[in-house]
Amino acid sequence: MERKVIDAQDVVVKFAGDSGDGMQLTGTMFADASALFGNEISTFPDYPAEIRPPQGLVSAVSGFQVHVGHKKIKTPGDLADVLVAMNPAALFVNAKCVKVGGSIILDSDTFDLPAIQKAGFKTEDPIAELKLEDYNIIWAPITSLTKESLKDSGMDLKSIIRCKNIFTLGMCYFMFNRPLNFTEDYLRKKFAKKTELIEPNIKVLNDGYNYAANTHAIGNTYNIAPANLEKGTYRSINGNQATAWGLIAASEKSGRPLFVGSYPITPATVILEELALRKNLGVKSMQCEDEISGICTSIGAAYAGNLAVTTTSGPGLSLKSEALGLACITELPLVIVDVQRGGPSTGIPTKTEQTDLAQALYGRNGECPIMVIAARTPSDCFRAAYTAAKFALEHMMPVIFLSEGYLGNGSEPWRIPKMSEFPSINPPIAEKGEEKFKPFVRDPKTFVRKWAIPGTEGLEHRVGGLEKTPEGAVSADPENHALMVANRQAKIDALAEFIPELELFGENEGDILLVGWGGTYGHLFAAVQRLLGEGIKVGLAHFDYINPLPKNSAEIFKRFKKILVCELNSGQFADYLRAKHPQYTYNQLNKIQGQPFMVHEIVSAVKELL
């Protein structure tokens, strides 16, 4: 069979199967091999919400989408060019995620009648029922071929079947001309302590590759040339790793030891795990018994002179709210990382949303203003975490850093920076020998108080949850309370002079301005590129700093005839903008499905509004 090798600018591959089929690992290995080859990548792991759901049900389907490109890519892609579906349930859930005419690789061994019915199909023919006749359906007996490949390996049958994801990976490597050596090296390292598993896994990887080369079902193959990346050393990184490393970098730059007190919670747990591994870098970590003790230990560490951090998701942020008020009134440096997920309550723990914004802005009693910032992409979590720590330390206050499940779990190439590329961090530490220390005497421009490290001679002082005078004495005086409330708000307002002004991508003025924040950046950026290519005068204003807003926000808003605010909630940022800049009309594009935007959804909304 004659095949053509097609040069492609980018491809999207989605791996889907039962939560025990190893789809997350398969997708990660495909992404890593592509990144090491030199391609741009963006990934989106999509986990089932249940713990160990029954196999074969749609609720058990686990997915991992990889976007591989020759040029800069900013999203994991909309629809897949190739779908790997390891069972009927995976096909049932993901058939709609494939481009018309795309390829679908199916494990024919799993498509018996009981499995088809268990997945929710009403007929015995899933292809006809889903109207997939115009797609390139590649039926492959993957389970049987894996058994045959490893029949002499000495492994038990259960372990052999678990290797079918590696066989499938080999097939995909052939389709996209991916080198095998990167994954072979990975397998040698992964099984360094179980050497008997190295050769069987390498064998089944090569057998999958060779099967794809010999079968007539796979037609053309694709080549995605390496990208022209900025010179430097790169690695693949996910948002939770980047967050942890950004905090470590801030600790090094500031000279303040890093302490993290947290309680494990999906999807933020990896940050705590990553920091717990870094004792060699001076990180002190404490896995606490609950969310409240997590933040309270961090407040204590901040009082003692540490860069203090606590990590959580939406339900945990709710539990931390009272202690957040304590961090605000004591004006101690604390970073609160919230990796958002579907809610309310326990909600959908493994799905992404942007529904904690209102909680971050207002979710405390009393007048309790807190700086709120957000990250754009998985690798941008490094910058955002570093920046959150810098503001917390230099301005003596808690800072909420909003990440998202999509960012925390997603990955992309990251050029490892030099520490010299990041600004200095200079906490306002009170020195021994100063005049009698008064804890709430402030800088007249920044309203920042000094940080007196306990144990420093002559700097004895009191802070706490009761209102204080500037001298640190407990006070219920009405005028003093009004003064302290005003000063804490003035400190937040003064930050507008320290944060960057809002930048525009696309047109500087025109018909429509797209507005977003957080992890919607890549999809909005790609949508603007597409719309500009069609001649539409569109700009993008993406907010990294939410409280306070950049001081040029209103000036940018007035340049456009219409404003469309796009966010993964019911309109929380749009409502916030209405409160801050009520002179403008804010149209909304909202998605609350536990999934990120697709570029075509944004493009369609813009055209409809225009």
Q: Residue 50 has what pLDDT?
A: 82
Q: In angstroms, rounded to a whole number, what is the distance separating the alpha carbons of residues 173 and 209? A: 7
pLDDT value, residue 3: 73
pLDDT > 70: what percent of the chain? 100
Q: Is residue 203 over pLDDT 90?
A: yes
Q: What is the pLDDT of residue 53?
A: 83
pLDDT, tens digit (0-9, with 9 covering 90-100), for 91-127: 999 999 999 999 999 999 999 999 999 999 999 999 9
Question: Fold for domain 5-223?
Answer: Pyruvate-ferredoxin Oxidoreductase; domain 3 (3.40.920)
As a whole number of angstroms, the distance between CA 388 and CA 398 comes to 9
How high is the pLDDT of residue 49? 84
- For the chain, the structural domain boundaries read 5-223, 235-421, 428-498, 504-609
Residue 1 confidence (pLDDT): 54
Q: What is the mean pLDDT of residues 280-298?
A: 97
Position 101, amino acid: G
- Identical fold, 5-223 and 235-421: no
Domain at 504-609, CATH class: alpha beta
pLDDT mean over 254-270? 97
Topology of 235-421 in CATH?
Rossmann fold (3.40.50)
Distance between start and end Cα atoms, the chain = 49
User: Which range among 432-446, 498-512, 588-602 shows the weakest confidence by mean pLDDT?
Assistant: 432-446
Determine which of 4-8, 221-225, 493-497, 600-604 has the lowest per-residue pLDDT on average.
4-8
Contact 504, 541 (CB under 8 A): yes
CA angle 405, 409, 412 (to 5 degrees): 125
Which is nearest to 573 in space by CA: 538, 601, 542? 542
Mean pLDDT of 459-469: 94
pTM score: 0.95
Write the pLDDT tens digit of every residue in 418-436.
Answer: 999 999 999 999 998 767 8
Q: Are strands 411-415 and 234-238 parallel, antiparallel or unpaired?
A: antiparallel
pLDDT tens digits along 238-249: 999 999 999 999
- The SS3 of residue 412 is strand
Place 219 in a pLDDT band, splitting at 50, 70 and 90.
Answer: confident
Output the pLDDT for position 20.
84
Q: What percent of the chain has pLDDT over 90?
A: 92
Q: Check residue 2 and give its pLDDT.
A: 66
Question: Which residues neighbour 145 within 8 Å (Cβ) at sequence distance 6 or greater?
Answer: 167, 207, 208, 211
